[in-house]
A = this chain, B = another copy of it.
Amino acid sequence: MPNRRTVFFISDRTGITAEMLGNSLLSQFEEVDFQRVTIPFVDTTENIDAVIEQVNETAAREGRRPIVFSSIVDEAMSERVRRGTNALTLDLFQAFVAPLESELALRSSHAAGRSHGIANSHEYFARMDAINFSQTHDDGAATRDLAKAQVILVGVSRCGKTPTSLYLALQFGIRAANFPLTPDDFADRVLPGSLLPHKERLFGLTINPDRLHKIREERRPGSKYAALENCRYEVRECEHLLEREGIPMLDTTAKSIEEIATTISYRAKLRRHVY
């Protein structure tokens, strides 16, 4: 395996930021088969030294040095990793602290970050509230309290409403409900009555019928529900209904959940409750 390389994501907290930025960088090098190892909560000298040993053993065993994405807030700890490892160490955090200190004319506190932390009680409750709300208002399960939704996602079954609602709640603290549009609605050629008072907060999701067919086949193989012909009918009617009603619409076919959620929150100018 000439083009194999081990990658470590090391953090004094969860390592999720290091993974996200690191993976985004690694996706630029498709020729390489990266083996990923995440080591979170590296926040003592003993932990750091154990990680250094693991990285160096990997380097020796594989005959090529690993890549280390490090996001450690403590400067001395971070330096210890950089100096101690036989690796390409990319320090995602330290690289930007100095220019920020200089720009703001302040010293950074060098305390482990607290974004998304429970330390901020207001954000914590806002986020829990959003998650509860999105769970309770999934798939049209509750129409009470729809007035409290910041956005109500509508579309045919399996077009991406549920994961998008959950992501909006978890990542951004946005109260997102979702409501299915069904063949009954298409026959009536009108929106479900419970949605009408909230029309200005509806956001439509649509999807390529072939893709929908594939997704529904995973769930109910061979059913009428999953049949390509039915998927084509539902998507066409749903799009017509949304267009007639002037509801904004997004095609989810080639998009990740992150992209769908970001597009909706940006276009609908939704206020986030979590940073």
Contact = CB atoms under 8 A, between A and B. Distances in A.
A100 B67 contact: yes
A23 B275 contact: yes
Contacts of A71: 21, 24
A78 interface: no
A166 B97 CA distance: 33
B29 A109 contact: yes
Contact of A99 (B17, B88, B124, B125): B88
Interface residues of A, number: 76
Contacts of A24: 17, 71, 93, 113, 115
Interface in A2-23: 5, 13-17, 19-21, 23
A167 B253 CA distance: 23
B254 A118 contact: yes
B28 A111 contact: yes
A81 interface: no
A21 B19 contact: no
Contacts of A40: 262-263, 266
A237 B166 CA distance: 32
